């Protein structure tokens, strides 16, 4: 499957989860769908969704977390 399809599945899983997601959690969310989905791929997908404006990133307690964008989020 393509990167776009995998990222769409990840975004849907993050939205369903309803809480901020770390790289490790993103890896767990797609482990059943993509058995070869690893940490590096999760990082790339999260960064890609962030660049596309679909996720917002923040540092919490020294860890990078991502959450879905809302209508209140504005891109600079």
Q: Where are the domains of the chain?
A: 3-67
Selection from 51, 39, 53, 54 nearest residue 9 by Cα: 54
Q: Per residue in 43-64, pLDDT tens? A: 999 999 999 999 999 999 999 9
Q: Per residue in 2-48, pLDDT tens? A: 777 899 999 999 999 989 999 999 999 988 888 788 899 999 999 99
Decide if 53 contacts 75 (C-beta within 8 A): yes
Q: How confident is the model at residue 1 (pLDDT cuts 50, 70, 90)?
A: low
What does the alpha-carbon distance between residue 68 and residue 47 come to, in Å, rounded to a whole number? 12
62: three-class secondary structure by DSSP: coil
For 3-67, CATH number out of 1.10.3720.10, 3.40.309.10, 1.10.10.10, 3.30.360.10 equals 1.10.10.10
């Amino acid at each position: 499957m393509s990167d776009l399809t995998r990222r769409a599945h990840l975004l849907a899983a993050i939205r369903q989860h309803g809480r901020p997601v770390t790289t490790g959690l993103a890896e767990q969310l797609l482990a059943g769908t993509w058995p070869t989905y690893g940490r590096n791929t999760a990082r790339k997908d999260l960064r890609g969704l962030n660049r596309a404006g679909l996720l917002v990133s923040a540092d919490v307690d020294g860890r990078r977390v991502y959450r879905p964008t809302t209508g209140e989020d504005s891109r600079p």
